[in-house]
C-alpha cells in the first residue's frame, strides 16, 4: 500500500509545470519555488512512510502548500511589521519610522554616487559631517556638532576623549541601565574613566558634587533618567546650577540626554522631557542624544556642544570606527530639514505623539468601519498607549483602539496568527479583548490590517 502511494507522488518537474506554480515563479524566485516543491514532496514521502498520510492530496492542494512554503522562503528576515501596540518608539520593532522625505533622501543616495565627502564648490574632498552640522547647530543653538552610530557610541566617545584616566562625577540617582545592556557605570569603565558616584538614589545636592571634586576630576556628568523616574522625596540640582559649579571649578559639564527632543512636548500634554535647546541654553558643554528616539530620524548618536570640545572629538580615532553611513546622513539631513521648515507633522514620531483624541477617534472609526464591512466583529474602545523607547515612562497616552472579537479562534490564536501572518500585525490582548491601537497605525496599512484579521480569525 505504502509502495503504491510512494510511486504516485508527482515528480518535482511535473509539479513545477502546473500553471499556478509557473505563475508563482513571476512573483517569487523560481529557485525558491523548486525548493518548496522538494520540501513539500519530501514531507509527503515522510508522512507516507510514517503511516500518517494514507491518501495523496489533490494536485491543487499540493500547489497551494507549495505556494505557502515558497512565499515563506522568499520572505526577508528583516521586514516590515504593522505596529498596533500604541507604543510609538517600540525598540524591538525598530524605534522611529522615518519620514517619507527622509526615506526618499536615503534611497536616492543609496543608489547613486553622492556628495558624501566631496565638496562640489571647491572640487575637492569634503567632510561627511558637513551635511548636518549647520542644521544641528541652528536647531539646537550649539556651536558645533558631530554624528556617530548611536547614542551609546556618542557617550563612549565623549568619555574616552574627555575623561580617560580621570574621574567623572555623576549622581547615584542617574546610574541608568537602558535596554540592551548599556549601563552608565560599565561604559565609564570601558572608557578608562573612574565613576565617582555622589548623593543618594533619591537626593543629590549641589554640594555633593562640590565636595567630590578633586584634582582627578575631569567632568561633571548628567544622565537623563529616560526610562525611569524617581518620584516623591527626590531632588537634584538644576542644569544651570551644575553648569555654574562645573565652570567655577574649571570643569566641563557633559550630558547624556537619551531621547533628545527638539520640540517642546508639553504642547502635546507630555511633561518632563527636556529639549536639547534647553541643555545648550543652560550652558552644558557637550550633549549627546539618539537620532531614532523622539527626534524621529534614523539610528544615530548626535553630539552637540562647544566648538573646542566637538572639534577634538572629530579627531579622535574612535570617531572613524563609529562613523555613520551615507543613508543615515541623508535621512538625518532630511529629518532635520523638516524641523527647520517647521514641518514636524511630516515626521511620523511627532505626528503620532501629537495626534489629538479627536483625530485618533476618527482613525479608529474608519478602521472599525472597514472591519465590520468585512464581516469582522469589532468595536472602538478607548485605551492607553506609551511613547516607548525609554522616554517619558510614567506617562500613558490616551488613545483609541479597535477591539476585535474573533469568529473562529480564541484571542491567543488570533494574536499568534496575526504575528505569523504576512505582513505581521502586532497587537495586544487586554481584558479579554484583542486591541489594535490606532495611534501607531498608518492609514495606508488599514486594508492590510483588515485582510490580516479576516485571515487570522478563521
CB 159 within 8 A of CB 153: no
User: Cell 537626593 maps to which residue?
Assistant: 203
- Cβ at position 189, least distance to ligand PLP in Å: 16
Binding flag, residue 159, ligand PLP (CB under 6 A): no
The window from 16-24, 30-38, 80-88, 218-226 that contacts ligand PLP (CB under 6 A) reads 218-226
Binding flag, residue 258, ligand PLP (CB under 6 A): yes
Residue nearest ligand PLP by beta-carbon distance: 258
Q: What angle separates helix 326-340 from helix 100-110, to the nearest 10 degrees?
A: 150
Binding flag, residue 224, ligand PLP (CB under 6 A): yes
**How is residue 275 annotated by DSSP?**
B
What does residue 429 show for φ and ψ, rounded to 5 degrees?
Answer: -95, 130
Our CB check for ligand PLP shows the closer of 91 and 200 to be: 91
Rounded-to-integer distance, Cα 455 and Cα 458, Å: 6
User: Which member of 152, 162, 331, 380 binds ligand PLP (CB under 6 A)?
Assistant: 152
Rounded-to-integer distance, Cα 4 and Cα 63, Å: 21
- Cβ at position 20, least distance to ligand PLP in Å: 46
What 3-state class would DSSP assign to 286?
strand
Binding flag, residue 304, ligand PLP (CB under 6 A): no
Binding flag, residue 176, ligand PLP (CB under 6 A): yes
- Cβ at position 286, least distance to ligand PLP in Å: 14
C-alpha distances in Å from residue 171, one per residue of 118, 125, 275: 44, 44, 20
Our CB check for ligand PLP shows the closer of 208 and 256 to be: 256
User: Cell 521648515 maps to which residue?
Assistant: 341
Residues 369-428 that bind ligand PLP (CB under 6 A): 390
Q: Computed from CA positions of residues 137, 142, 143, 148, in that sequence, does the dihedral angle turn out positive or negative?
A: negative
Closest CA relative to residue 239, chosen from 247, 249, 227: 247
- Cβ at position 287, least distance to ligand PLP in Å: 11
Rounded-to-integer distance, Cα 427 and Cα 417, Å: 11
User: Which member of 182, 194, 203, 422 binds ligand PLP (CB under 6 A)?
Assistant: 182
Binding flag, residue 252, ligand PLP (CB under 6 A): no
Q: Total residues at the site for ligand PLP (CB under 6 A)? A: 16
Q: Going residue by residue from 279 to 298, which x/- string records binding to ligand PLP, judged by CB under 6 A?
A: -----------x--------
User: Which member of 256, 273, 346, 457 binds ligand PLP (CB under 6 A)?
Assistant: 256
C-alpha distances in Å from residue 441, one per residue of 79, 97, 359, 364, 400: 16, 11, 13, 10, 11
Our CB check for ligand PLP shows the closer of 336 and 441 to be: 336
CB 208 within 8 A of CB 177: no
Residues that bind ligand PLP (CB under 6 A): 150-152, 155, 176, 178, 182, 223-224, 226, 256, 258-259, 290, 301, 390
Amino acid at each position: 500500500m505504502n509502495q503504491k502511494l510512494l510511486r504516485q507522488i508527482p515528480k518535482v518537474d511535473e509539479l513545477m509545470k502546473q500553471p499556478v506554480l509557473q505563475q508563482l515563479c513571476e512573483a517569487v524566485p523560481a529557485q525558491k519555488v523548486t525548493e518548496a516543491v522538494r520540501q513539500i514532496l519530501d514531507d509527503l514521502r515522510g508522512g507516507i512512510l510514517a503511516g500518517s498520510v494514507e491518501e495523496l492530496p489533490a494536485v491543487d492542494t499540493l500547489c497551494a502548500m507549495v505556494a505557502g512554503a515558497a512565499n515563506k522562503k522568499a520572505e526577508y528576515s528583516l521586514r516590515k511589521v504593522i505596529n498596533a501596540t500604541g507604543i510609538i518608539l517600540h525598540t524591538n520593532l525598530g524605534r522611529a519610522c522615518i519620514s517619507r522625505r527622509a526615506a526618499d533622501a536615503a534611497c536616492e543616495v543609496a543608489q547613486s554616487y553622492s556628495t558624501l565627502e566631496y565638496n562640489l564648490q571647491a572640487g575637492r574632498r569634503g567632510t561627511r559631517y558637513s551635511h548636518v552640522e549647520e542644521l544641528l547647530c541652528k536647531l539646537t543653538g550649539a556651536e558645533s556638532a558631530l554624528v556617530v552610530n548611536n547614542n551609546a557610541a556618542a557617550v563612549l566617545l565623549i568619555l574616552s576623549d574627555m575623561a580617560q584616566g580621570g574621574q567623572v562625577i555623576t549622581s547615584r540617582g542617574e546610574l541608568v541601565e537602558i535596554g540592551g545592556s548599556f549601563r552608565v557605570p560599565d561604559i565609564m569603565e570601558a572608557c578608562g574613566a573612574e565613576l565617582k558616584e555622589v548623593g543618594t538614589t533619591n537626593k543629590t545636592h549641589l554640594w555633593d558634587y562640590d565636595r567630590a571634586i578633586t584634582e582627578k576630576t575631569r567632568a561633571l556628568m548628567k544622565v537623563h533618567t529616560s526610562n525611569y523616574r524617581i518620584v516623591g522625596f527626590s531632588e537634584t540640582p538644576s542644569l544651570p546650577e551644575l553648569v555654574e559649579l562645573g565652570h567655577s571649578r574649571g570643569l566641563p559639564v557633559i550630558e547624556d540626554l537619551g531621547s533628545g527632543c527638539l520640540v517642546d512636548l508639553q504642547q502635546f500634554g507630555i511633561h518632563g522631557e527636556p529639549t536639547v535647546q534647553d541643555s545648550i541654553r543652560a550652558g552644558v558643554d557637550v550633549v549627546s542624544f539618539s537620532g531614532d528616539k523622539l527626534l524621529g530620524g534614523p539610528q544615530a548618536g548626535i553630539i552637540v556642544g562647544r566648538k573646542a570640545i566637538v572639534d577634538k572629538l572629530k579627531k579622535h580615532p574612535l570617531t572613524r570606527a563609529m562613523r555613520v553611513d551615507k543613508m543615515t546622513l541623508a535621512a538625518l539631513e532630511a529629518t532635520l530639514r523638516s524641523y527647520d521648515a517647521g514641518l514636524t507633522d511630516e515626521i511620523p514620531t511627532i505626528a503620532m505623539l501629537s495626534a489629538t483624541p479627536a483625530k485618533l477617534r476618527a482613525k479608529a472609526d474608519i478602521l472599525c468601519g472597514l472591519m465590520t464591512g468585512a464581516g469582522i466583529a469589532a468595536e472602538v474602545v478607548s485605551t492607553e498607549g506609551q511613547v516607548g523607547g525609554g522616554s517619558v515612562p510614567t506617562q500613558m497616552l490616551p488613545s483609541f483602539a479597535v477591539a476585535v472579537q474573533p469568529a473562529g479562534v480564541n484571542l491567543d490564536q488570533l494574536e499568534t496568527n496575526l504575528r505569523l501572518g504576512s505582513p505581521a500585525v502586532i497587537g495586544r490582548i487586554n481584558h479579554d479583548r484583542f486591541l489594535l491601537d490606532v495611534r501607531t497605525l498608518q492609514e495606508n496599512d488599514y486594508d492590510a490590517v483588515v485582510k490580516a484579521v479576516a485571515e487570522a480569525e478563521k
